Homo-oligomer: A and B are copies of this chain.
Amino acid sequence: MKASLEIIEKLSISNASKIVLIVIDGIGGLPVNGATELEKAHTPNLDALARDAICGIIDPVGRGITPGSGPANLALLGYDPFRFIIERGALSAAGVGFDMQPSDIAVRMNFATIDKEGKIVDRRAGRISTAKNRELCKLLEGISLDDVELFLRTEKEHRAVVIFRGEELSEELSGSDPQATAVPPQPLAALSASAGKTVKVANSFIDRAKERLKSSYPANMVLLRGFAKYPQLPQFNDIYKLHAAAIALYPMYRGIARIVGMEILRAAEGIAGEFQTLKENFQSHDFFYLHIKDTDSAGEDGNFDQKVKIIEEIDKQIPILMELNPDVVAITGDHSTPAILKRHSWHPVPILIHSTWVRPDSVRQFSENACSMGGLGRFGAVEVMSLLLAHALKTAKYLA
Q: Mask for A182-217, Cβ within 8 A of B = 1, else 0?
A: 000000000000000000000000000000000000
Identify 6 residue pairs between A and B in the complex whose beta-carbon atoms are under 8 Å apart, listed by A's number.
Answer: A64-B391, A65-B386, A65-B398, A66-B398, A88-B399, A108-B400
Residues of B within 8 A of A3 (CB): 61-62, 64-65, 82
If the complex has contacts A62-B2, A63-B383, A63-B387, are A369 and B361 also in contact, measured as CB distance less than 8 A? Answer: yes
Pair A399/B359 contact, Cβ less than 8 Å:
no
If the complex has contacts A341-B357, A359-B30, A359-B368, are A67 and B395 also in contact, measured as CB distance less than 8 A? Answer: no
Pair A82/B31 contact, Cβ less than 8 Å:
no
CA distance A378 to B357 in the complex (A): 19
Which residues of A in the span 355-396 have a Cβ within 8 Å of any Cβ on B?
357, 359-362, 368-369, 372-373, 375-380, 382-383, 385-391, 395-396
Interface residue stretch chosen among A68-76, A263-271, A276-284: A68-76
Name the residue on B nearest A395 (C-beta).
Answer: B66
If the complex has contacts A359-B36, A389-B64, are A399 and B71 also in contact, measured as CB distance less than 8 A? Answer: yes
Pair B63/A395 contact, Cβ less than 8 Å:
no
If the complex has contacts A1-B2, A88-B400, A378-B377, are A395 and B361 also in contact, measured as CB distance less than 8 A? Answer: no
Residues of B within 8 A of A379 (CB): 63, 378
CA distance A28 to B391 in the complex (A): 15
Pair A64/B390 contact, Cβ less than 8 Å:
yes
Residues of B within 8 A of A86 (CB): 399
Indicate if A81 sits at the interface (CB-CB under 8 A): yes
If the complex has contacts A347-B359, A369-B375, are A68 and B390 also in contact, measured as CB distance less than 8 A? Answer: no
Pick the 4 closest A-B CB pairs, nearest first: A64-B386, A377-B378, A64-B387, A64-B390
Name the residue on B nearest A179 (C-beta).
Answer: B396
CA distance A59 to B380 in the complex (A): 14
Residues of B within 8 A of A346 (CB): 386-387, 390, 395
Q: Mask for A70-102, Cβ within 8 A of B = 1, else 0?
A: 110000000011100111100100000000000
CA distance A82 to B397 in the complex (A): 13
If the complex has contacts A2-B1, A91-B400, A390-B346, are A64 and B395 also in contact, measured as CB distance less than 8 A? Answer: yes
Residues of B within 8 A of A376 (CB): 63
Q: Residues of A with Cβ closer than 8 Å to B?
A: 1-4, 7, 11, 28-31, 36, 57, 59, 61-71, 80-82, 85-88, 91, 108, 226, 341, 343-347, 357, 359-362, 368-369, 372-373, 375-380, 382-383, 385-391, 395-400
Residues of B within 8 A of A66 (CB): 11, 390, 395-398
Give the shortest distance, in Å, between A375 (CB) and chain B (any CB).
Answer: 5
CA distance A341 to B400 in the complex (A): 18
Pair B390/A61 contact, Cβ less than 8 Å:
no
Residues of B within 8 A of A30 (CB): 357, 359
Residues of B within 8 A of A80 (CB): 1
If the complex has contacts A61-B1, A398-B67, are A362 and B357 also in contact, measured as CB distance less than 8 A? Answer: no
CA distance A114 to B30 in the complex (A): 62
Pair B398/A61 contact, Cβ less than 8 Å:
yes
Pair A81/B398 contact, Cβ less than 8 Å:
yes
Pair B399/A1 contact, Cβ less than 8 Å:
no
Residues of B within 8 A of A382 (CB): 1
Residues of B within 8 A of A81 (CB): 1, 398-399
Residues of B within 8 A of A389 (CB): 64
Give the shortest distance, in Å, between A168 (CB) and chain B (any CB).
Answer: 26
